[in-house]
Structure formats: C-alpha cells, structure tokens
Amino acid sequence: MSRRAWAYVAGGAGQGRTMRHNREAFERWRIVPRMLHGVRHRELGTEVLGTALSAPLLLAPVGAAGLVRPDSDLLIARGASAAGTAYVFSNQGCQPMEDTAAAMNGTPFWYQLYWSTDEPLVDSLIQRAEAAGAAALVVTVDTTLLGWRPQDLDLGSLPFARGEGIAQYTSDPRFTILATERAHRTSAEENGITVGAISTLLAMSRRHPGRLLDNLRSALPRAAVQTFLDIYSNPSLSWEHLASLKERTVLPVLVKGILHPDDARRAIDVGIDGIVVSNHGGRQVDNAIAALDALVTVREAVGPDPVVLFDSGIRTGADLFVALALGADACLLGRPHLYGLALAGADGVRQVIENMVAELDLIMGLTGVAAIAGIGRDHVQAAPVGAHH
C-alpha cells in the first residue's frame, strides 16, 4: 500500500489504545475444547434478519478503499461473492452501490448508511439501496464526527477531501442537485492557486464521474467534494432520527457502533432490528473500552433474542469462535479483508475469508460443536487473573 493508504487503513484514533484494547480483550477469553463428542460434520450456515449466511461472517463496510486498489469495492464484492460471503457496502464507497451490487452476483449484501444533514439525501440513499437489492440497512452512529487520527494528520491526508470515497454521493440524484447548485454559486469565486490546490483538483476530477478533461473544465467536482464535506454526517443525530426509519424503509435496520448496554436497550425499544457492537476498529475514540467487553454487557442487557453482531479486533477463526461464544450472532471483518485486497485483489479477499472460516470450522470440530447455534458461553472461560498473554 502507499503510505497514505496504510495510514488510513491500519491507523486508529489517538495513540491507538482502543485498537490495542480490542486485541487484548481476546487474550482474556480462552476456549475450552470438549472431547469424544462424536461431531464429524459441522454446519457453519446461519441466518441473520432474513439473510442466509454461509458462515457467521460478513465483510464490514469500509470507506475509501480505493486508496488500496482502483475498483476496490468491485474487487471486494467479487472476492466476497466467490467465498459466498455477504458484504456490507459502505456509504463512503468508491463505486456506486448499483455497480457493487451487480458484482455481488446474487450473494446477499447490506447497505451501511451515514446519516446526512440533508434528509432528502438520506431517503434517496435508502431508496437506492432497496432498489439495488440490499437485504438490510446498517446505520453507523459512532461517526457523526471523524475521529482524531494522527497517522492521517501527519501526512495531511483526508481521502474524502480529494474525492476518494464519495461515489455514493456523486452517483446520487439528490446530491447532484445540491452540488450543481453549489457549483453555480461558487464558479465565479476567486480561488488561490497553489501546487497543492492543483493536485487536489486533479484528484477530485479524476474520481468524479465522467471524462477527466470535462471535469477539469467544470466547477462540479470541487463543488461535490465541498458539498459532501458540508453534509456528510450529522453531529446532532438522535434517537428520534432512528425511530423515523420505520416509516422510511421496508428493510430490517441495524445500528452499528453500540458500546453501552443502555444504548443497546434503547435501540431495541425504538424498534431497531439488530445491534452491531463495535468501536469502529478503534478509529474513533482513543482509550475506549474493548468492543469484546461491550459485547458481553450488551448481550446481557438485551437478553438472548435480539440480533447482536460484533466487530473490532477479529483477526482469526479462533477470535470468531470467542465472539460467537460471548453472544454474537455473526461478526463483521474489517481491516483483514483490505489486506487481502492489497495483496491479491478479489482473490486475496476470498482467501482471507476462506482461511478464517476454515479455522472456525476446525475449532468447532475440535470443541464438539455441530452448528453455529451450538457455540455457547460454556465454550469459553475468562483467563485466570494475572495470567500472562
């Protein structure tokens, strides 16, 4: 990866403590294998909110993956589809969701929404996701502001400001109206011309739909980025917004980024269909609690029935097993699939998934579990106090 891509993908908030906590939490739970159980065949398939999954693993939404490879979202979709794995498309995707949907080739996908300050844009994105065939909507609520990310700051890098990761917007009819209005308002403005400004303009124009030469002559690519920066997320997002979703979509809705048991209960109370326990892979608040610790309290709070998914820190099939044992119905995989993408494109994505699922399958065989629903609290134990990793 380029330095900029690596900073964005591998980086986290502040001193990286939340990322570290995510991993450390997995060291504090240990698997308890059982013997002589006669389990020969394992069934890894499961169902979450009406979506059939070949294994309890989905690809997490990742924005601006185009930093890693051109056509990123299409390649990820092809890799996911080859592995038969569902993919949650990011609102900050690098290809229009309709194109990525086609690349899924029938494998289920969900759509992740960032709630814009422009409500008609919210509706437009939801309608497009429904029309494209998304099977659920995932509203990410932990990124109403972008976290403090020193790795990016050190490089002066904000992908979105160069038009990276705004393809859902530039392909959207409502957004195009807003950006066009802005282009008309600002095209007469004087702008200071520097080498940096030209390089940014070139980057924006390259990513904007249409021909580069036309884009360079037009005020629209720059107006699109500026419009995006104005409206992309809504810091005043509240429970009332979420409650309004019931009338705005026919899809099941999950809320991603929950860490406190009260927030989990409240989400269920306002009619949300599922919760994704996540600290955004440690990219938002430094020194936050480990997502795995939150999974335990959230599952306790909501009881056995509501759908609870988990991400942040999963790196192996053994990690998957532990998260499932602690109450997750399925898990999302973030950075590792981008590493596969960087190394070998769609095939790399497929291999990352298949390796992880293969280890989960083996561990199920070695712990005597025949089906995903059979992975329970009895299969893990807290590490003895004071035990070294």
Query: Could you say which of 108, 252, 274, 334 contacts ligand FNR (CB under 6 A)?
Result: 334
Helix ranges (DSSP H) in 244-334: 261-269, 291-302, 317-325
Is residue 266 within 8 A of residue 248, CB to CB? The reply is no
Query: Could you say which of 72, 100, 112, 227 contacts ligand FNR (CB under 6 A)?
Result: 112
- Which residue lies nearest ligand FNR, judged by its C-beta? 334
Tell me whether residue 20 or residue 42 sits nearer to ligand FNR (CB atom). 20
Backbone angles phi, psi at 59, to 5 degrees: -80, 130
Other C-beta atoms closer than 10 Å to the C-beta of 212 total: 13
Q: Tell me if 312 contacts ligand FNR by CB under 6 A.
A: yes
Query: Could you say which of 164, 273, 286, 311 contacts ligand FNR (CB under 6 A)?
Result: 311
Q: Which residue has the tokens 């960087």?
A: 342
Tell me whether residue 26 or residue 380 sits nearer to ligand FNR (CB atom). 26
The C-alpha atoms of residue 27 and residue 17 are separated, in whole angstroms, by: 15
Give me the least distance between CB of 100 and ligand FNR, in Å please: 13
Tell me whether residue 5 or residue 380 sits nearer to ligand FNR (CB atom). 5
- 162 burial (CB, 10 Å; 0-12 / 13-18 / 19+) is buried
Is residue 122 within 8 A of residue 241, CB to CB? The reply is no
Q: Please list every residue from 251 through 280 that binds ligand FNR, using CB under 6 A.
A: 256, 278, 280
Helix (H) or strand (E) holding 207: helix 195-207
Lay out the site mask for ligand FNR across 115-144 (x = CB under 6 A, - = otherwise): -------------------------x----
Taking CB atoms within 8 Å and a gap of at least 24, the contacts of 351-354 are 352/79, 353/57, 353/59, 353/79, 353/80, 353/83, 353/85, 354/83
Q: Tell me if 341 contacts ligand FNR by CB under 6 A.
A: no
Lay out the site mask for ligand FNR across 48-77 (x = CB under 6 A, - = otherwise): ------------xxxx--------------
Give me the least distance between CB of 370 and ligand FNR, in Å please: 27
Ordered DSSP codes for 47-99: EETTEEESSSEEEPP-TTGGGTSTTHHHHHHHHHHHHT--EEE-TT-SS-HHH
Give me the least distance between CB of 326 and ligand FNR, in Å please: 16
Angle at the Cα of 346 from the Cα atoms of 344 and 348, rounded to 5 degrees: 40
Give me the least distance between CB of 291 and ligand FNR, in Å please: 8
Q: Tell me if 81 contacts ligand FNR by CB under 6 A.
A: no
Residues in the chain: 389
Provide the pairing of β-strand 253-258 with 137-140.
parallel
The C-alpha atoms of residue 146 and residue 165 are separated, in whole angstroms, by: 14
Q: Which residue has the tokens 């989990």?
A: 264
**Binding segment (CB under 6 A) for ligand FNR, from list 27-35, 84-92, 202-210, 259-267:** 84-92
Q: Which residue has the tokens 């990866």?
A: 1
Angle at the Cα of 160 from the Cα atoms of 118 and 284, rounded to 5 degrees: 85
The active-site residue out of 21, 37, 241, 280 is 280
Is residue 388 annotated as part of the catalytic site, yes or no? no
Query: Could you say which of 18, 46, 92, 157 contacts ligand FNR (CB under 6 A)?
Result: 92
Give me the least distance between CB of 349 and ligand FNR, in Å please: 14
Q: Please list every residue from 282 through 301 that binds ligand FNR, using CB under 6 A.
A: 283
**Binding segment (CB under 6 A) for ligand FNR, from list 231-239, 299-307, 327-335, 347-355:** 327-335
Tell me whether residue 141 or residue 183 sits nearer to ligand FNR (CB atom). 141
Catalytically active residues are 280
Per CB under 6 A, residues contacting ligand FNR are 8-9, 60-63, 90-92, 112, 140, 256, 278, 280-281, 283, 311-314, 332-335
